Amino acid sequence: MKPSVDRIRHCLDSGIPSSIATCAADGTPNVTFVSQVEYLDDEHVALTFQFFNKTRENILARPRALLYVTQGETGESYRLSLQYLRTENEGPLFERMKARLAGIASHTGMSGIFRLRGSDVYRVLDIETVDGVAPLPAPPRRNLLAALNKSSTAMAACTDLGSLLDETLAQLRQGFGIAHALLLVHDRARGRLYTVASTGYRESGIGSEIAFGEGVIGVAAQQRTPIRIAYMTNDYGYSRAVRDTVQRSGFDELLRTEIPFPGLAEPQSQLAVPILAGGELLGVLYAESPDANRYGYDDEDALVTLAAQLGAMARLLQEADEPEPVAAAPMAPAPATGAELLVRRYAENDSIFIGDQYLIKGVAGCILWRMLGDYLRDGRNEFSNRELRLDPALKLPDFSDNLEARLTLLNRRLGERCDALALHKIGRGRFRLDVRRPLRLVDIPRA
Protein backbone atom coordinates (compact mmCIF):
# COMPACT_ATOMS: atom_id res chain seq x y z
CA MET A 1 0.00 0.00 0.00
CA LYS A 2 1.19 3.50 -0.78
CA PRO A 3 2.57 5.16 2.34
CA SER A 4 0.49 8.06 3.66
CA VAL A 5 2.25 10.69 5.74
CA ASP A 6 -1.14 12.35 6.34
CA ARG A 7 -2.18 9.42 8.51
CA ILE A 8 0.79 9.71 10.89
CA ARG A 9 1.24 13.49 10.73
CA HIS A 10 0.27 13.90 14.39
CA CYS A 11 3.45 12.01 15.31
CA LEU A 12 5.70 14.59 13.64
CA ASP A 13 4.79 17.36 16.10
CA SER A 14 5.64 15.14 19.02
CA GLY A 15 7.49 16.23 22.12
CA ILE A 16 9.38 12.94 21.89
CA PRO A 17 12.46 13.44 19.69
CA SER A 18 12.59 11.48 16.45
CA SER A 19 15.74 9.67 15.43
CA ILE A 20 17.35 9.04 12.06
CA ALA A 21 19.56 6.19 10.89
CA THR A 22 21.74 6.43 7.78
CA CYS A 23 24.58 4.40 6.31
CA ALA A 24 28.02 5.43 5.12
CA ALA A 25 29.29 4.38 1.71
CA ASP A 26 30.87 1.29 3.31
CA GLY A 27 27.58 0.38 5.02
CA THR A 28 28.53 1.57 8.53
CA PRO A 29 25.33 2.70 10.23
CA ASN A 30 24.92 6.01 12.02
CA VAL A 31 22.06 6.98 14.29
CA THR A 32 21.20 10.29 15.88
CA PHE A 33 18.31 12.40 17.10
CA VAL A 34 16.44 14.92 14.97
CA SER A 35 15.29 18.34 16.20
CA GLN A 36 12.31 18.63 13.92
CA VAL A 37 10.38 16.71 11.29
CA GLU A 38 8.25 18.87 9.01
CA TYR A 39 5.24 17.52 7.16
CA LEU A 40 5.21 18.63 3.52
CA ASP A 41 2.51 16.50 1.92
CA ASP A 42 1.23 12.95 1.87
CA GLU A 43 4.52 11.69 0.40
CA HIS A 44 7.19 14.08 1.65
CA VAL A 45 8.77 15.29 4.87
CA ALA A 46 11.65 17.65 5.57
CA LEU A 47 14.32 17.47 8.27
CA THR A 48 16.53 20.23 9.58
CA PHE A 49 20.08 20.44 8.30
CA GLN A 50 22.01 22.24 11.02
CA PHE A 51 25.51 20.83 11.17
CA PHE A 52 27.90 19.21 8.72
CA ASN A 53 27.82 15.88 10.52
CA LYS A 54 27.91 12.19 9.72
CA THR A 55 24.20 12.07 8.86
CA ARG A 56 24.80 14.81 6.30
CA GLU A 57 27.82 13.06 4.85
CA ASN A 58 25.91 9.79 4.67
CA ILE A 59 22.77 11.03 2.91
CA LEU A 60 24.89 12.79 0.31
CA ALA A 61 26.84 9.56 -0.30
CA ARG A 62 23.91 7.16 0.05
CA PRO A 63 20.56 8.98 -0.03
CA ARG A 64 18.50 6.53 2.03
CA ALA A 65 17.52 7.04 5.65
CA LEU A 66 15.21 5.56 8.25
CA LEU A 67 13.26 7.84 10.56
CA TYR A 68 11.75 6.69 13.86
CA VAL A 69 8.83 8.80 15.12
CA THR A 70 6.80 8.41 18.31
CA GLN A 71 3.59 10.24 19.15
CA GLY A 72 3.96 12.17 22.39
CA GLU A 73 0.55 11.35 23.91
CA THR A 74 -0.19 7.81 22.75
CA GLY A 75 3.28 6.34 22.21
CA GLU A 76 2.36 4.93 18.78
CA SER A 77 5.55 4.62 16.76
CA TYR A 78 6.46 4.39 13.08
CA ARG A 79 9.55 3.82 10.96
CA LEU A 80 9.64 5.89 7.78
CA SER A 81 11.94 4.82 4.94
CA LEU A 82 13.19 7.98 3.29
CA GLN A 83 14.87 8.96 0.05
CA TYR A 84 16.81 12.23 0.22
CA LEU A 85 15.82 14.58 -2.63
CA ARG A 86 17.22 18.08 -2.10
CA THR A 87 18.08 20.84 0.35
CA GLU A 88 16.28 24.20 0.37
CA ASN A 89 18.07 27.08 2.06
CA GLU A 90 15.58 29.87 1.42
CA GLY A 91 11.87 30.32 0.74
CA PRO A 92 8.66 29.33 2.50
CA LEU A 93 9.69 25.86 3.68
CA PHE A 94 13.01 27.12 5.00
CA GLU A 95 11.34 30.01 6.86
CA ARG A 96 8.65 27.75 8.32
CA MET A 97 11.27 25.38 9.66
CA LYS A 98 13.55 28.15 10.85
CA ALA A 99 10.75 29.68 12.93
CA ARG A 100 9.69 26.34 14.36
CA LEU A 101 13.28 25.43 15.16
CA ALA A 102 13.73 28.72 17.03
CA GLY A 103 10.87 27.68 19.34
CA ILE A 104 12.28 24.18 19.81
CA ALA A 105 15.77 25.57 20.45
CA SER A 106 14.46 27.94 23.07
CA HIS A 107 12.38 25.21 24.70
CA THR A 108 15.32 22.79 24.88
CA GLY A 109 17.92 25.32 25.98
CA MET A 110 19.60 25.19 22.57
CA SER A 111 19.17 28.82 21.49
CA GLY A 112 22.34 29.94 19.81
CA ILE A 113 23.28 26.31 19.03
CA PHE A 114 20.50 25.28 16.71
CA ARG A 115 20.80 27.16 13.45
CA LEU A 116 19.02 26.11 10.32
CA ARG A 117 21.36 25.79 7.36
CA GLY A 118 18.82 24.11 5.15
CA SER A 119 15.64 22.09 4.91
CA ASP A 120 16.39 18.57 3.70
CA VAL A 121 13.46 17.29 1.67
CA TYR A 122 12.82 13.53 1.60
CA ARG A 123 10.36 11.32 -0.26
CA VAL A 124 8.69 8.81 2.05
CA LEU A 125 9.05 5.38 0.46
CA ASP A 126 7.45 3.32 3.17
CA ILE A 127 5.88 3.66 6.61
CA GLU A 128 6.05 0.74 9.00
CA THR A 129 4.07 0.59 12.22
CA VAL A 130 6.39 -0.48 15.03
CA ASP A 131 4.99 -3.73 16.43
CA GLY A 132 5.23 -4.43 20.10
CA VAL A 133 4.09 -0.96 21.16
CA ALA A 134 0.84 -0.71 23.12
CA PRO A 135 -0.45 2.80 22.29
CA LEU A 136 -2.54 4.66 24.82
CA PRO A 137 -5.95 5.95 23.71
CA ALA A 138 -5.73 9.38 22.06
CA PRO A 139 -7.13 12.18 24.24
CA PRO A 140 -10.40 13.71 23.00
CA ARG A 141 -9.90 16.54 20.52
CA ARG A 142 -11.91 19.57 19.51
CA ASN A 143 -13.78 18.82 16.28
CA LEU A 144 -12.20 21.31 13.92
CA LEU A 145 -14.37 20.36 10.94
CA ALA A 146 -17.51 21.12 12.94
CA ALA A 147 -15.96 24.45 13.96
CA LEU A 148 -15.14 25.22 10.32
CA ASN A 149 -18.66 24.37 9.24
CA LYS A 150 -20.17 26.74 11.80
CA SER A 151 -17.64 29.50 11.06
CA SER A 152 -18.16 29.27 7.31
CA THR A 153 -21.90 29.56 7.66
CA ALA A 154 -21.65 32.56 9.98
CA MET A 155 -19.04 34.33 7.84
CA ALA A 156 -21.01 33.74 4.63
CA ALA A 157 -23.91 35.71 6.13
CA CYS A 158 -21.80 38.89 6.60
CA THR A 159 -22.57 41.84 4.36
CA ASP A 160 -19.73 44.24 5.13
CA LEU A 161 -16.06 43.97 5.97
CA GLY A 162 -16.36 45.19 9.55
CA SER A 163 -18.89 42.54 10.52
CA LEU A 164 -16.92 39.88 8.60
CA LEU A 165 -13.80 40.66 10.65
CA ASP A 166 -15.74 40.63 13.92
CA GLU A 167 -17.51 37.40 13.00
CA THR A 168 -14.21 35.73 12.17
CA LEU A 169 -12.81 36.59 15.58
CA ALA A 170 -16.02 35.49 17.30
CA GLN A 171 -15.81 32.14 15.52
CA LEU A 172 -12.15 31.74 16.47
CA ARG A 173 -13.14 32.22 20.11
CA GLN A 174 -16.27 30.06 20.12
CA GLY A 175 -15.53 27.34 17.59
CA PHE A 176 -11.77 26.99 17.90
CA GLY A 177 -11.24 28.05 21.51
CA ILE A 178 -8.71 30.68 20.41
CA ALA A 179 -8.76 33.47 22.99
CA HIS A 180 -6.02 35.69 21.54
CA ALA A 181 -6.12 36.59 17.87
CA LEU A 182 -5.48 39.43 15.45
CA LEU A 183 -6.48 40.21 11.90
CA LEU A 184 -4.03 42.33 9.95
CA VAL A 185 -4.39 43.87 6.50
CA HIS A 186 -1.62 44.13 3.95
CA ASP A 187 -0.62 47.68 2.99
CA ARG A 188 1.00 46.94 -0.32
CA ALA A 189 2.39 50.40 -0.91
CA ARG A 190 4.34 50.32 2.34
CA GLY A 191 5.12 46.62 2.61
CA ARG A 192 3.56 46.51 6.06
CA LEU A 193 0.59 44.98 7.83
CA TYR A 194 -1.79 46.90 10.03
CA THR A 195 -4.15 45.50 12.64
CA VAL A 196 -7.87 45.99 11.87
CA ALA A 197 -9.42 43.68 14.44
CA SER A 198 -8.33 41.79 17.55
CA THR A 199 -9.70 39.73 20.39
CA GLY A 200 -8.42 38.91 23.85
CA TYR A 201 -6.25 41.96 24.62
CA ARG A 202 -6.59 44.81 27.08
CA GLU A 203 -5.80 47.31 24.28
CA SER A 204 -7.17 46.41 20.87
CA GLY A 205 -3.98 47.50 19.09
CA ILE A 206 -6.04 48.50 16.06
CA GLY A 207 -3.75 50.44 13.74
CA SER A 208 -0.56 48.84 15.08
CA GLU A 209 1.82 47.80 12.34
CA ILE A 210 4.17 44.94 11.58
CA ALA A 211 6.83 45.16 8.89
CA PHE A 212 7.29 42.36 6.38
CA GLY A 213 9.70 39.80 7.77
CA GLU A 214 9.15 40.81 11.42
CA GLY A 215 8.07 38.06 13.77
CA VAL A 216 5.89 35.15 12.68
CA ILE A 217 3.29 37.56 11.24
CA GLY A 218 5.79 39.39 9.06
CA VAL A 219 7.44 36.17 7.90
CA ALA A 220 4.08 34.54 7.12
CA ALA A 221 3.22 37.58 4.99
CA GLN A 222 6.58 37.75 3.29
CA GLN A 223 6.70 34.04 2.46
CA ARG A 224 2.94 33.57 2.04
CA THR A 225 3.07 30.47 4.14
CA PRO A 226 1.73 29.58 7.58
CA ILE A 227 4.30 29.99 10.36
CA ARG A 228 3.78 28.03 13.56
CA ILE A 229 5.87 28.03 16.72
CA ALA A 230 5.16 25.67 19.60
CA TYR A 231 7.29 27.27 22.33
CA MET A 232 8.22 30.75 23.50
CA THR A 233 11.18 32.21 21.64
CA ASN A 234 12.66 35.68 21.71
CA ASP A 235 13.72 35.30 18.09
CA TYR A 236 10.17 35.99 16.88
CA GLY A 237 8.92 38.47 19.48
CA TYR A 238 6.96 41.58 18.47
CA SER A 239 7.30 43.83 21.43
CA ARG A 240 10.99 43.73 20.66
CA ALA A 241 10.37 44.23 16.96
CA VAL A 242 8.28 47.31 17.63
CA ARG A 243 10.76 48.63 20.20
CA ASP A 244 13.60 48.15 17.74
CA THR A 245 11.75 50.11 15.10
CA VAL A 246 11.30 52.98 17.52
CA GLN A 247 14.93 52.89 18.60
CA ARG A 248 16.14 52.83 15.02
CA SER A 249 14.05 55.81 14.01
CA GLY A 250 15.26 58.14 16.74
CA PHE A 251 12.42 60.57 15.99
CA ASP A 252 10.16 61.66 18.79
CA GLU A 253 7.36 62.17 16.32
CA LEU A 254 7.48 58.59 15.20
CA LEU A 255 7.41 57.46 18.80
CA ARG A 256 4.20 59.34 19.26
CA THR A 257 2.51 57.75 16.26
CA GLU A 258 3.46 54.17 17.11
CA ILE A 259 0.39 52.19 18.22
CA PRO A 260 1.67 49.43 20.51
CA PHE A 261 1.34 45.90 19.20
CA PRO A 262 -1.26 44.27 21.46
CA GLY A 263 0.04 40.68 21.44
CA LEU A 264 0.99 38.62 24.50
CA ALA A 265 4.40 39.56 25.89
CA GLU A 266 5.54 35.94 25.99
CA PRO A 267 3.34 33.76 23.79
CA GLN A 268 4.19 30.08 24.12
CA SER A 269 2.42 29.15 20.89
CA GLN A 270 2.04 31.27 17.79
CA LEU A 271 0.34 30.60 14.47
CA ALA A 272 0.28 33.13 11.63
CA VAL A 273 -1.64 32.29 8.46
CA PRO A 274 -1.57 34.44 5.33
CA ILE A 275 -4.95 35.56 4.01
CA LEU A 276 -4.78 35.08 0.25
CA ALA A 277 -7.31 35.73 -2.50
CA GLY A 278 -6.91 35.85 -6.24
CA GLY A 279 -3.20 35.18 -5.88
CA GLU A 280 -2.72 38.25 -3.71
CA LEU A 281 -1.86 38.67 -0.05
CA LEU A 282 -4.73 40.48 1.67
CA GLY A 283 -3.43 40.11 5.21
CA VAL A 284 -2.57 37.74 8.03
CA LEU A 285 -4.65 35.89 10.58
CA TYR A 286 -2.65 35.49 13.79
CA ALA A 287 -3.50 33.31 16.80
CA GLU A 288 -1.39 32.92 19.91
CA SER A 289 -1.63 31.23 23.27
CA PRO A 290 0.01 31.29 26.70
CA ASP A 291 0.09 27.46 26.47
CA ALA A 292 2.97 25.62 24.82
CA ASN A 293 2.33 23.41 21.79
CA ARG A 294 -1.25 24.68 21.51
CA TYR A 295 -1.52 24.50 17.71
CA GLY A 296 -0.87 21.41 15.63
CA TYR A 297 -1.03 20.62 11.95
CA ASP A 298 -4.82 20.18 12.11
CA ASP A 299 -5.26 23.63 13.70
CA GLU A 300 -3.03 25.06 11.01
CA ASP A 301 -5.09 23.42 8.24
CA ALA A 302 -8.33 24.66 9.80
CA LEU A 303 -7.09 28.24 10.05
CA VAL A 304 -5.66 28.16 6.52
CA THR A 305 -9.13 27.13 5.30
CA LEU A 306 -10.78 29.81 7.44
CA ALA A 307 -8.33 32.43 6.15
CA ALA A 308 -9.09 31.40 2.55
CA GLN A 309 -12.78 31.95 3.16
CA LEU A 310 -12.10 35.25 4.90
CA GLY A 311 -10.00 36.35 1.92
CA ALA A 312 -12.60 35.34 -0.64
CA MET A 313 -15.38 37.03 1.31
CA ALA A 314 -13.34 40.22 1.84
CA ARG A 315 -12.60 40.33 -1.89
CA LEU A 316 -16.25 39.77 -2.75
CA LEU A 317 -17.40 42.54 -0.42
CA GLN A 318 -14.77 44.87 -1.83
CA GLU A 319 -15.89 44.22 -5.40
CA ALA A 320 -19.47 44.83 -4.36
CA ASP A 321 -18.72 48.24 -2.85
CA GLU A 322 -19.54 50.25 -5.99
CA PRO A 323 -22.24 52.74 -4.97
CA GLU A 324 -25.90 52.09 -5.45
CA PRO A 325 -28.00 54.87 -6.94
CA VAL A 326 -28.78 57.38 -4.23
CA ALA A 327 -32.24 56.58 -2.97
CA ALA A 328 -32.90 59.78 -1.09
CA ALA A 329 -31.46 63.25 -0.79
CA PRO A 330 -28.44 63.46 1.51
CA MET A 331 -29.35 64.19 5.07
CA ALA A 332 -28.35 67.58 6.37
CA PRO A 333 -25.52 67.27 8.87
CA ALA A 334 -26.61 67.40 12.50
CA PRO A 335 -25.43 70.66 14.07
CA ALA A 336 -22.03 70.38 15.69
CA THR A 337 -22.08 71.80 19.19
CA GLY A 338 -19.83 72.09 22.22
CA ALA A 339 -16.14 72.91 22.50
CA GLU A 340 -14.07 73.27 19.36
CA LEU A 341 -12.24 70.12 18.24
CA LEU A 342 -8.68 70.77 17.13
CA VAL A 343 -7.54 68.40 14.37
CA ARG A 344 -3.95 68.60 13.19
CA ARG A 345 -2.48 66.91 10.13
CA TYR A 346 1.29 66.46 9.77
CA ALA A 347 2.00 66.37 6.05
CA GLU A 348 5.28 64.53 6.78
CA ASN A 349 3.48 61.21 7.23
CA ASP A 350 -0.20 62.15 6.94
CA SER A 351 -0.60 61.61 10.66
CA ILE A 352 -3.70 63.02 12.29
CA PHE A 353 -3.88 64.21 15.88
CA ILE A 354 -7.18 64.92 17.66
CA GLY A 355 -6.25 67.46 20.29
CA ASP A 356 -2.96 66.03 21.55
CA GLN A 357 -3.86 62.43 20.84
CA TYR A 358 -2.48 60.55 17.90
CA LEU A 359 -5.23 59.00 15.80
CA ILE A 360 -3.99 57.57 12.52
CA LYS A 361 -1.51 58.14 9.71
CA GLY A 362 -0.87 57.15 6.12
CA VAL A 363 -3.68 56.59 3.63
CA ALA A 364 -6.35 56.39 6.35
CA GLY A 365 -5.08 59.74 7.70
CA CYS A 366 -5.27 61.21 4.20
CA ILE A 367 -8.85 60.02 3.74
CA LEU A 368 -9.99 61.54 7.03
CA TRP A 369 -8.23 64.82 6.30
CA ARG A 370 -9.91 65.07 2.92
CA MET A 371 -13.38 64.38 4.34
CA LEU A 372 -12.94 66.87 7.18
CA GLY A 373 -11.85 69.48 4.62
CA ASP A 374 -14.90 68.83 2.44
CA TYR A 375 -17.12 68.99 5.49
CA LEU A 376 -15.77 72.38 6.61
CA ARG A 377 -15.59 73.89 3.14
CA ASP A 378 -18.80 72.57 1.54
CA GLY A 379 -20.81 71.17 4.40
CA ARG A 380 -20.59 67.73 2.79
CA ASN A 381 -20.95 64.74 5.05
CA GLU A 382 -21.66 61.87 2.63
CA PHE A 383 -18.98 60.17 0.61
CA SER A 384 -18.63 57.22 -1.71
CA ASN A 385 -15.85 54.66 -1.90
CA ARG A 386 -15.67 55.37 -5.61
CA GLU A 387 -14.81 59.07 -5.23
CA LEU A 388 -12.11 58.19 -2.72
CA ARG A 389 -10.64 55.63 -5.09
CA LEU A 390 -10.54 58.15 -7.91
CA ASP A 391 -9.04 60.99 -5.84
CA PRO A 392 -5.34 61.23 -6.79
CA ALA A 393 -4.63 63.28 -3.64
CA LEU A 394 -5.34 60.23 -1.48
CA LYS A 395 -2.44 58.29 -2.96
CA LEU A 396 -4.29 54.98 -2.89
CA PRO A 397 -1.78 52.49 -4.25
CA ASP A 398 -4.11 51.22 -6.98
CA PHE A 399 -7.70 50.44 -7.69
CA SER A 400 -7.61 47.03 -6.08
CA ASP A 401 -6.32 48.44 -2.80
CA ASN A 402 -8.49 47.33 0.06
CA LEU A 403 -10.10 50.71 0.71
CA GLU A 404 -12.83 49.11 2.79
CA ALA A 405 -10.18 47.80 5.20
CA ARG A 406 -8.67 51.28 5.52
CA LEU A 407 -12.09 52.77 6.27
CA THR A 408 -12.71 50.02 8.83
CA LEU A 409 -9.37 50.80 10.45
CA LEU A 410 -10.16 54.52 10.48
CA ASN A 411 -13.61 54.04 11.94
CA ARG A 412 -12.33 51.72 14.66
CA ARG A 413 -9.60 54.15 15.66
CA LEU A 414 -12.21 56.94 15.79
CA GLY A 415 -14.39 54.69 17.94
CA GLU A 416 -11.53 54.20 20.39
CA ARG A 417 -10.02 57.69 20.39
CA CYS A 418 -12.60 60.31 19.43
CA ASP A 419 -16.27 60.43 20.32
CA ALA A 420 -16.88 63.54 18.22
CA LEU A 421 -16.24 61.88 14.84
CA ALA A 422 -17.65 58.66 13.35
CA LEU A 423 -18.28 56.97 10.03
CA HIS A 424 -21.58 55.24 9.27
CA LYS A 425 -22.28 53.01 6.33
CA ILE A 426 -25.40 54.26 4.54
CA GLY A 427 -25.50 51.84 1.61
CA ARG A 428 -23.26 49.86 -0.65
CA GLY A 429 -20.05 51.80 -1.15
CA ARG A 430 -21.36 54.89 0.65
CA PHE A 431 -20.94 56.27 4.14
CA ARG A 432 -21.65 59.32 6.25
CA LEU A 433 -19.24 61.29 8.39
CA ASP A 434 -20.80 62.39 11.68
CA VAL A 435 -19.23 65.48 13.21
CA ARG A 436 -20.55 66.29 16.67
CA ARG A 437 -18.35 69.25 17.61
CA PRO A 438 -17.21 72.36 15.73
CA LEU A 439 -13.92 71.68 13.93
CA ARG A 440 -10.68 73.59 13.60
CA LEU A 441 -8.25 72.05 11.14
CA VAL A 442 -4.54 72.86 11.30
CA ASP A 443 -2.25 71.60 8.58
CA ILE A 444 1.42 71.27 9.56
CA PRO A 445 3.49 71.26 6.37
CA ARG A 446 6.63 69.22 5.90
CA ALA A 447 9.62 70.65 7.73
Partner 1 sequence: MPSPKTRAALTEEHAAFVCGPHSVIASSSSVDGLPSMARCLGCEVSADRRSVTLVFHALQATTLLRDIATTGRIAVVYNEPATHVTLQLKGRDARPIPTPEGAEALAGRHIEAFMGAVAPLGFSAELVRAVFLGAATPVAAVQFTPEAAYQQTPGPKAGARLT
Residue choice 40, 43, 44, 74 for contact with partner 1 (CB under 8 A): 74
- 422 is a site residue for partner 1 (CB under 8 A): no
Give the nearest distance from C-beta 150 to partner 1 in angstroms. 32
**CA–CA gap between residue 210 and residue 65 (Å, rounded):** 41
Q: Residue 75, interface with partner 1 (CB under 8 A)?
A: yes
- List the end-to-end C-alpha distance of the chain, in Å, as a whole number: 72
Site string for partner 1, 39-58 (x = CB under 8 A): -----------xx-xx----
Q: Is 139 in the site for partner 1 (CB under 8 A)?
A: no
Verify binding: residue 123, partner 1, rule CB under 8 A. Answer: no
Whose Cβ is closer to partner 1: residue 45's or residue 409's?
Answer: 45
Judged by CB under 8 A, the residue of 8, 35, 199, 237 near partner 1 is 35
Beta carbons within 10 angstroms of residue 146's beta carbon: 10
Q: State yes or no: residue 113 binds partner 1 (CB under 8 A).
A: yes
Q: Which stretch binds partner 1 (CB under 8 A): 30-38, 94-102, 149-157, 358-366?
A: 30-38
Nearer to partner 1, 30 or 239 (CB): 30
**Given 41, 131, 252, 398, the residue binding partner 1 (CB under 8 A):** 131
The C-alpha atoms of residue 430 and residue 414 are separated, in whole angstroms, by: 18
Distance CA 177, CA 179 (A): 6
Residue 277 CB, nearest approach to partner 1 (Å): 40
Q: How far is the CB of 111 from partner 1 (least distance, A)?
A: 11
Evaluated on CA atoms 408, 410, 413, 417, the torsion sign reads negative
Q: Is 114 in the site for partner 1 (CB under 8 A)?
A: yes
| Binding of residue 308 to partner 1 (CB under 8 A) | no
Stretch that binds partner 1, among 75-83, 389-397, 404-412, 418-426 (CB under 8 A): 75-83
Interface with partner 1 (CB under 8 A), residue from 4, 6, 7, 32: 32
Q: Pick the closer one to partner 1 by CB: 56 or 315.
A: 56
Judged by CB under 8 A, which of 36, 77, 204, 411 binds partner 1?
Answer: 77
Binding-residue pattern over the window 229 to 268 for partner 1, x denoting contact by CB under 8 A: ----------------------------------------
> How many residues bind partner 1, per CB under 8 A?
44
* Nearest distance from C-beta of residue 82 to partner 1, angstroms: 10
The minimum distance between CB 81 and partner 1, in angstroms, equals: 8
Our finding on whether 154 is near partner 1 (CB under 8 A) is no
- Does residue 62 belong to the site contacting partner 1 (CB under 8 A)? yes
How do 351-354 and 341-346 pair as beta strands? antiparallel
Nearer to partner 1 among residue 133 and residue 145 (C-beta): 133
Binding site for partner 1 (CB under 8 A): 15-17, 19, 21-23, 27-33, 35, 50-51, 53-54, 62, 64-66, 68, 70, 72-75, 77, 79, 81, 108-110, 113-114, 130-136
